[in-house]
A = this chain, B = another copy of it.
Amino acid sequence: MENLLEALPETLLMGPGPSSVHPSTLRAMAAPEIGHLDPRFLRIMDQTLDLLRQVFQTQNQLTLPLSGTGSAGMEAAVVNFVRPGDRVVVGLNGYFGQRLAEMARRQGAEVVGVETEWGRPVETADLRKALAGGPTRLVALVHAETSTGVLQPLEEAADAAHRAGAMLLADAVTSLGGVPVAVDARGVDIAYAGTQKCLSCPPGLAPLTCNDRARQAVEDRAGDPPSWYLDLKLVARYWGEERFYHHTAPINMIYALNQALRLVVEEGLEARFERHRQVARGLWAGLEAMELRLVVPEDQRTPSLTTVWIPEGIDDAAVRRRLLAVHGIEIGGALGPWKGRAWRIGTMGESARPQNVYRFLAALGECLGRFGHPVGVREALAAAREAMAALEG
């Protein structure tokens, strides 16, 4: 049977995730297999938890990586905290807010959607209005919407939720490790993420953190959540001192996460956030110099993911196919109402490097020219360079 793995090319991943992975993280995954109860593995688990807390910017004891992808993190955050009949306020301004609402619906919640135009953050005033409608268990917001590129401010939402007696749940899938999540400083009660975005670890784990209030809610819950696999009471006992057997941790994925997190902490969180900001500004300046229109107003953009309208007459799929096949660069198409109308360009983790911005802008310019829409590549590169000048230090 054909070995398809041998033929895989190096690809620059500038889509909505996965991002490119550092070679040392790929190598970490191939470290010798040891048992999940081996004392050496237990030390790796503990170190990984320490690193996760640093990256979430939290002291939360209940901080751990769940054994599934980012969507498993979302499901864990919902099934552990949302009981049948609970009122849940969900920001609906993109694809992943909708998914949160769907998961809450499956738990039998009364879901109150705060409908907001795609490409704009949810307004605190609208959250307050929704919260005024009745006692609410949870406010759920997407911090960096992977479908739109919007960065959702969290402080005011946390304040509004807490005044109403609700907890704030934040989806940090496309922010953790690239954009400050600042769980403690912002008063986020529950947050989860994926590994394949700004952490530049392969997909397969879902870091999650809960503060003491949320942890207490898990402890105090009458009856078990319907999910045994994602039951935080059980998972926490496995990752905690007790090492109570629950499931077999995905050992090699934990190796990869451990190494990816060490790269984050070695770079320094502030330096890493600043790199993401600068690189995004370079990308934005380059795209605008090509006279392309960005979807989201600058002050509402997440640095990790940029959405740009596709020029009139340009075929979405044809450009992406050529970018991948000829230039070795992946970007993403859009979802839902924007399908075929916008591209999603990720600058996350290892992908968020100036050299990748230059390479991508040149490749995009080539593709647009090839399909009859010539743009100023020289101007784009110069604009990007100017915007990223601080990174040349």
Interface residues of chain A: helix, strand, loop or mixed (majority): loop
Query: Within 8 Å of chain B (Cβ to Cβ): is A330?
Result: yes
- What residues of B have a CB within 8 angstroms of the CB of A11 in the complex? 32-35, 38
Query: Within 8 Å of chain B (Cβ to Cβ): is A290?
Result: no
Q: If A71-B247, A227-B75 touch, does A33 touch B202 (CB 8 Å cutoff)?
A: yes
24 contacts between A and B (CB under 8 A): A1-B47, A5-B255, A13-B33, A15-B35, A17-B248, A18-B35, A29-B29, A30-B30, A34-B330, A67-B69, A69-B247, A69-B250, A70-B248, A99-B228, A106-B225, A194-B248, A196-B251, A202-B250, A202-B252, A202-B253, A203-B249, A204-B251, A227-B227, A229-B230
- Per-residue CB contact flags for chain A residues 11-42 toward chain B (1 = under 8 Å, else 0) read 10101011011000011111111111010100
Interface size on A, residues (CB 8 A): 78
Give me the 8 closest cross-chain CB pairs, A-B, nearest first. Answer: A204-B250, A71-B247, A226-B226, A26-B30, A202-B252, A75-B229, A21-B33, A203-B248
CB of A181, distance to nearest CB on chain B (Å): 19
Query: Within 8 Å of chain B (Cβ to Cβ): is A180?
Result: no
Of A132-140, A156-164, A258-266, A364-372, the stretch lying at the interface with chain B is A258-266
Q: Cα distance A38–B40 when bound, in Å?
A: 36
- What residues of B have a CB within 8 angstroms of the CB of A251 in the complex? 18, 196, 202-204
